[in-house]
Chain A
Amino acid sequence: MCNNIKIDGEAVEFVQGDTILQAAERAGKGHLIPRYCYHPGLPIAGTCRMCTVEVEKMPKLMTACSTIATDGMVVNTKSERVLKSRAGVMEFLLTNHPLDCPVCDKAGECELQDNNYRYGPVTSSFLEEKRVYSKAATKKLSPNITLNMNRCVHCERCVRFTEEVVKSCDLMMINRGWHKELTLSDEKLGLTSNYQGCLSDICPVGAHTFNDFRFKKRSWFLEQYPSVCDRCSKGCNISVHSENGVVYRFKPHYNEKVNGHWICDEGRLSYHQVMDATRIVKPLLAHEGSLKSTSWELAGAAVNYLITSASKVKVVIGTDATNEEMKYIQASLPDKFGKKFEFSSYCGYGEDKKLDHMLMMKDKTPNSNGASACKLNHLDGDLVGDCDVAILIRYGRSGVPQVKNCKKIIIIGVWTQKEIGSFGTNVEVVLPGLATTEKSGTYINCDGVSQNFSPAIAHLGEGLAVNSIISFFKK
């Protein structure tokens, strides 16, 4: 038996318990119904009245987000009553909205702008003075989020988010009617959750803005490519917003099995490590006591010399390398130089466990499970020692192991200057690699889900993928 409703004359199947809006979303027709307070990851409110549609045999216009779909319903999203209702809702929402578009971060991706352009009136007939929240006009709710209360359309998505999803109950609406205002539950504490960035994602207007991105870049300059966050072993799916190879922010990408609609703040800010000014992006060679930048051929020749003249080489691969890289290194190095290698993986965070009820994990490397799948044993005792040459390969997340009694150290991957400095003068060659957003590969997350990703930005610098690096290890 099919469950069918008709939207604009076309039959749409739905699952028992779906609302009209959910049925439309399932069939890919979500763009026909504009909305403000509905969000798939939040409980249904039905307060904004923007999603009203005309349902046959019902006298009033029904909100699509809260009306359960029944078999045989006929829904019209384009009738004159519906268009008039939308225009009316838009007009009333804009009566008190400030003329902030030129300075508001949300411009270009703002649902208010888009809906007004499509459905709203062309000009305003509002002659009164607009409401102004004098104290909360620009208020820092926390170091991460700034609130511009004048722009708020009172959809209450943020309140539902902090109550139901994050369960921190930081935000609430006080007063009624014209004076309704969003405030913090505790002024001294501010926002306490680790998911504050998601507030700026779900806010349909520019009321909540993420301070890290505030005033940095206009949204239409940004290209968007999907990738996987590598800040912890959860491996949330992200969308990398960048321009010309420079990343400006991460936004969550919906994935039912891994992260749902959200990412944590730590992961959201993790792009700073890729863009770090002290990240090594040129091959370095030790010369007269310090590391000098050089060409790939010279560096590769130096590595070649070191390895061929060594009898025992220990290779430590951080658990933030992709499966392909781990397999390739294990296969190609003995191929080239013979059996003198000892491979192990290194994590640096100990046993993995959940840190909260949502997404955060203790293991801050993305591919610990992948390391065991590639048959890499964990480094014994967190110490690399007693060998001629130690090769440390890591892509920015795993911890830095201690090194003792190794004559020479070769470093490959994503490292900062400070981390390399901590090894002292034993470092011979440094070869830059690609971070997660710059390469393609596979990670296996803490739940065993294997995720493929491809490059989201082009690497700015001279770093290369590991197969290109290893191809330089010749005379």
Chain B
Amino acid sequence: MKNSLAEQIKTRYSDGRKIETDSLGEIVIWAKSPTDMVDTANDLKNDQETRYNYLTDLTAYDNVDGVDGDGRFVLVYQLYSLENRSRVRLKLLLREGDHAKSVSIHFTGANWLEREVFDMYGIIFDNHPNLRRIMMDDRFVGHPLRKDYSLRQRQPFSNNIGLHLGTNPLPNTNEGRVNLNDFYNPNVLLNLGPSHPAMHGTLRVMCRVNGETIEDAACELGYLHRAIEKLGENKTYHQWIVYTDRLNYCSSLANNVAYCMAVEKMMGISITERTMVIRVMAMELARIIDHIVCVAINALDLGAMTVFWHFYYWREEAYTMIESMCGMRLTTSYTRIGGMSQDLPDNFVARMKRFVEEFPKTIDEISNLLTSNRIWIDRTRDVGVITKEEAIKYSLMGPVARASGVDFDLRRDRPYYNYSSLDFDVAVGSNGDVYDRYLVRMEEMRQSTRILKQCVDRIPTGPIWVDDKRVKIPNKQDVYTKMEDLIHHFKFFMDGVDVPSGDAYSSIEAPNGELGFYIVSRGGPKAWRMRVKSPSFMLFQNFEQVVKGGKIPDAVATLGSINIIAGELDR
């Protein structure tokens, strides 16, 4: 963070508020009251010097042991400034029964985030337009992420799916004059339900359609809520690596790297050169395969099946490479805290070189099929338009935001690992429709191949494990023959790695947007709060607005282009 910016914040916002730094040196501002929290966020957003106009994340954690002060919950805002490329965190202590104030008037993207906090913790937000449960179904009693709710505590669930979502989420009409029970009424409530033909996972969109035009839409999620964040509080840091695979399962390698990077930053461990380059290659490979899925499925939904079959050949090639790296095709769990689970195999460089040579040719072929294809352009031009202002308002990121004109790429703006020494361009669109998103993704695949080419030519030699007693996993040969190594291996995996207390937010540019991990640690081998900031969540929130006014087939095209992965959406 720039020193002058930090100084400005300290001088302007420190009256009555405590300002401190977290484990990574980022500024944390403790607000005085719920109103003060909302006002400070608004000030930070409108202030010409600081310009924190992006709400990265809004979450809470349980302070039942009172370590952070006198309050049951701590509400956390993560803000980001596009221009200054800096982050700030706002925190607020809430006692049991206190209401917080909703910040969704200033940041529209906070709407669903606050609903999730309400669902998981029971914190009520005043002035929230639609405070209902989001992940759990309406019959659920209690708030799962509280510390007194045990992990396996099941409850009776409903035995039929309600047609309406909660209490009247869709108003009867725009003007309130048409009677829905009228037989000749063209307004129909259509349920694009959780069992979806378009293979996008378990999403539900309730639409009120007039003919084929969607007049209003309400989205429902939570159909794949697997309590991954709660599991983060019950499993050790190593054990949780496997759950990170299952977040964005189309690009598991990127999730693994993001998580291990977050934990390593908290522990103050810097990885070796070789591991760094391997991780960068893994992230870019993950980006390529995720974009392949997105473009292929998008095309499949609109009828272009050839794209699907043709692109999938390279997906299988990538899978074979990944399988030789870490033993598993899809759910990789490749990284470990402080290193990787295994070193690269011998044939990797040759395979990767072939991939890098041949893959761009396929991108060109697909491009020939689609980019100037009349049908494709008709189906995707000016469909599902997200303007630049809307993208910033809803805090969107990733290829979707870039296609709308928001020039935001964490690899270039806040470089991590050796991205600052790599040569690549960032694709930014102008129109924000499905066509632009397709073009942005194709270009990103080309750029990722460029990065891979640069990396594979100069993979540094050396160890993949950092020489730190706290994290280094002894190699198997020693574990079976030497006593100390056996004990260390045993304690690592049975007790866990000890992470110092504090909190930190660390994110990467995942294929879908900004994937961040906010870890609150009270010392010990298990996290106190493991928050996953998922890009798909914000994208789906915007989806309700995007489809209004369009037709149902357009909604299908838009959904395909946004690339919602249900595992990441619901966690």
Contact = CB atoms under 8 A, between A and B. Distances in A.
B469 A122 contact: yes
Interface residues of A, number: 21
Interface stretch (A113-121, A298-306, A358-366): A113-121
Given A122-B469, A123-B478, A94 B484 contact: yes
B488 A117 contact: yes
Nearest to B479: A99
A95 B487 CA distance: 13
Interface in B484-522: 484-488, 490-491, 494-495
Contacts of A99: 480-481, 483, 486
Contacts of B488: 116-117, 122
B139 interface: no
Contacts of A120: 484, 487
B494 A108 contact: yes
Main secondary structure of the interface of B (DSSP, over half): helix
A107 interface: yes
B474 interface: yes
B478 A101 contact: no
A124 interface: yes
A113 B487 contact: yes
Nearest to B478: A123
Interface in A109-145: 112-114, 116-117, 120-124, 126
B483 A113 contact: no
Which among A91, A123, A220 has the greatest number of chain B C-beta atoms within 10 A? A123
Contact of B484 (A102, A114, A123, A220): A123
What is the interface residue range for chain B against chain A? 10 to 19
Contacts of A114: 491
A86 to B, nearest CB: 13
B354 interface: no
Given A99-B480, A117-B491, A123 B486 contact: no
A101 B490 contact: yes
Nearest to A96: B483
B485 A124 contact: yes
B482 interface: yes
A120 B485 CA distance: 11
B241 to A, nearest CB: 19
A123 B484 CA distance: 5
A6 interface: no
A124 B472 CA distance: 15
Contacts of A113: 487, 490-491
A102 B493 CA distance: 12
Which among B480, B481, B484, B495 has the greatest number of chain A C-beta atoms within 10 A? B484
Contacts of A124: 482-485
A114 B485 CA distance: 13
Contacts of A112: 487
B474 A123 contact: yes
Given A122-B469, A220-B494, A101 B484 contact: no
A220 B474 CA distance: 22
B482 A123 contact: yes
A107 B494 contact: yes
Contacts of A116: 484, 487-488
A76 B472 CA distance: 29
Which among B483, B485, B487 has the greatest number of chain A C-beta atoms within 10 A? B483
A274 B320 CA distance: 55
A220 B494 CA distance: 8
A282 interface: no
A97 interface: yes
A101 B494 CA distance: 11
Contacts of A94: 483-484, 487
Nearest to B490: A101
Which among B469, B487, B488 has the greatest number of chain A C-beta atoms within 10 A? B487
Given A122-B469, A123-B482, A220-B494, A101 B474 contact: no
9 contacts: A91-B484, A99-B480, A113-B487, A116-B488, A117-B488, A120-B484, A120-B487, A122-B488, A126-B482
Interface of A: 91, 94-95, 97, 99, 101-102, 107-108, 112-114, 116-117, 120-124, 126, 220
List of 3 A-B pairs having minimum Cβ-Cβ separation, nearest first: A124-B482, A117-B491, A94-B483
Given A102-B490, A113-B487, A117-B495, 19 more contacts: A94-B483, A97-B483, A99-B480, A99-B481, A101-B486, A108-B494, A112-B487, A113-B490, A116-B487, A116-B488, A117-B491, A122-B472, A122-B474, A122-B485, A123-B474, A124-B482, A124-B484, A126-B482, A126-B483
